[in-house]
Amino acid sequence: MPIYNYIYVALTLFCIGVAGVLTRRNAIIIFMCIELMLNAVNLLLVAFSKMHYATAVANAPGTTVGTDAQLFVFFIMVVAAAEVSVGLAIIVMMYRNTHSIDINFLNRLKH
């Protein structure tokens, strides 16, 4: 499958994520949109990694060149999981304080 198909999918996912963050007010949905952007990037990393690996193996069988990005994706997923837990905790606290998860209530910085 040509690489640009992957790029289109990732781009679409990323744009959906950005649009979601900008337009939605529900904190959880915004959160999910952030994850969407994150995973769009993951998808790109994996796709390019596979592409480089394929060309490298064709030239020299047995090489591991180009696989590091796939490993990197695991790290991103782990960090994202940790971040999700922190983020959800914040949302829980926010709900406890304001009885709402509408981020428009989070305008205290202004005052």
Q: Which residues bind another protein (CB under 8 A)?
A: 18, 21-22, 25, 103-104, 106-111
Closest to another protein by CB, 29 or 56: 29
Specify burial of residue 32 (Cβ count, 10 A radius: 0-12, 13-18, 19+): middle
- Residues in the chain, overall count: 111
13 in Cβ contact with 40 (< 8 Å): yes
Q: What is the nearest approach in angstroms of another protein to the Cβ of residue 8?
A: 17
* Residue number, 79 or 106, with CB nearest to another protein: 106
78 vs 90 by CB, closer to another protein: 90
Backbone φ and ψ for 102, nearest 5 degrees, come out as -80, 120
User: Minimum Å distance from CB 35 to another protein?
Assistant: 15
